[in-house]
Structure 1
């Protein structure tokens, strides 16, 4: 004696519809999760740079994701991948070099000549205007007309042998205001509010300097990676 049973259920086409809908829901949640964490990583990096007093340097950092590009990388029927990347959106060598040094550390050596020159508090720290402001160097000092406004640079050695660039017969603010050096008047007189000074130290030279990393980007990226599972679950619950 035998028993025959028949199990009935929805047709295969309905299972296919369910499978496809589930796959799309999972892909969508994953795409949104990696997109969110990429944007959050950028925000964390920018905030850290502001806290480290790096000005607007963080604006050069951005992220892009497969969600931005409207794509999912599929492998077969059920396997897929989506990603988000944090990147620099500038080609400026100056900006790229600054970000690399502040995030990975760097040893800075002079590109031309023997010395790295740093402006003292007697002269302006920056030169230029608007967005085109640059750290003042002896080359820019001469190029931007500061020899006429303050005086020509003269190379000397300090008592300990360190290289200096000084300006002779300059004037400084009577009240001690920093970065106020000016040249004498054409007939040798003093500008209003200034007092005479035999010489001022305009630049101090060093052979090289090391810059320690101030922003731990790998740690922030690892935090984003660890948050991904919960962010994915949040996106799945949104449905």
Structure 2
């Protein structure tokens, strides 16, 4: 007995094209999910490192977004490839906060802009006044010349200037930032002792801030985790 068969080519393009579109759609969605997850993870790591480096809540000035959250979808290229991305960015509009983030993540040489000196507040006076870092220009504006006393310019032993306040009251326990003006009778307030002079600001020509958080190194670690996040997302779709 002899058996023979013949094959006639059919239309394979239609079914294959449909499967290919389905597979590509899954990969595109997985890429969007993975990069969104990576951006969130990077933001969390950077904020955590900033807090651990003694920068308090400075990391709250950062945020993240992605092609997924922005609703843009993937980016297509002429050669048929595609990409998806997520980013961490500085969200605050405060120039001071933006400058601090850039300085502590990249390092910076800080020099005065409007005067010859950078004025550094000491522990004898409030660090913040009305939600702004205290500077000599805010001293009178925010009423500290009445609450503590007028600033007086003197020369320090190294030749740099000092801004001091004379005849003030400070906490008996030595608590920092407790300076207050004397009463109208020239006496310290309750719980305070009189001090002939406190140093409020130290003037320096410039300062250097070393980077405390290496954002690029953290980003490289998160980038290495992206393939795993992609395959994990692909398995859920």
Task: Answer whether TM exceeds 0.5 for this pair.
Answer: yes
Deviations 1:174-220 (A, max 9, x none): 23222222222213233222222222211111111100001101111
Q: 1:175 to 1:19 in 2, by over 3 A?
A: closer
Partner of 2:225, secondary structure, is helix
2:97 to 86, 95, 98: 95
| Alignment partner, residue 24 of structure 2 | 23
Q: Which residue does 1:32 correspond to in 2?
A: 33
Greater mean alpha carbon deviation, residues 186-195 or residues 73-82: 73-82
Partner SS for 2:89: strand
Summarize the Cα distance change of 1:77–1:107 in structure 2 as closer, same or farther, 3 Å threshold. closer
CA separation in 1, counterparts of 2:187 and 2:45? 55
Confirm whether residue 50 of structure 1 aligns to residue 48 of structure 2: no
CA distance in 1, matches of 2:5, 2:185: 120
Q: TM-score, normalised by structure 2?
A: 0.89
Structure 1 residues 163-182: aligned runs within 5 Å: 163-182=161-180
Please give the alpha-carbon distance, in whole angstroms, between the structure 2 residues aligned to 1:96 and 1:77. 39
- TM-aligned CA deviation for residue 4 of structure 1: 8.0
TM-score for both structures, normalised by structure 1: 0.89
Compared with structure 1, are the counterparts of its residues 10 and 111 closer, same or farther at alpha carbon in structure 2 (3 Å cutoff)? same
Aligned to 1:188, which of 176, 186, 192?
186
Q: Deviations over 1:72-112 (max 9, x none)?
A: 22336842222222222223212211111011011111122
> Does structure 1 conserve the Cα–Cα contact (< 8 Å) formed by 2:163 and 2:199?
yes
Distance 2:63 2:30 in 1: 22
For 2:159 and 2:227, how far apart are their aligned partners in 1? 60
Local SS of the residue matching 2:55: coil
Residue of structure 2 equivalent to 1:14: 15
**Deviation at 1:143?**
1.2
For residues 172 and 196 of structure 2, what CA distance do their matches in structure 1 show? 14
Q: Unaligned 5+ residue runs, structure 2? A: none
Counterparts of 2:76 and 2:172 in 1: how far apart (Å)? Answer: 73
Structure 1 residues without counterparts, runs of 5 or longer: none
- Quickly say closer, same or farther: Cα 1:95–1:237, change in 2 above 3 A: same
Q: How many Å apart are 1:13 and its aligned residue?
A: 1.9
Say whether the 8 Å CA contact 2:32–2:85 is kept in structure 1: yes
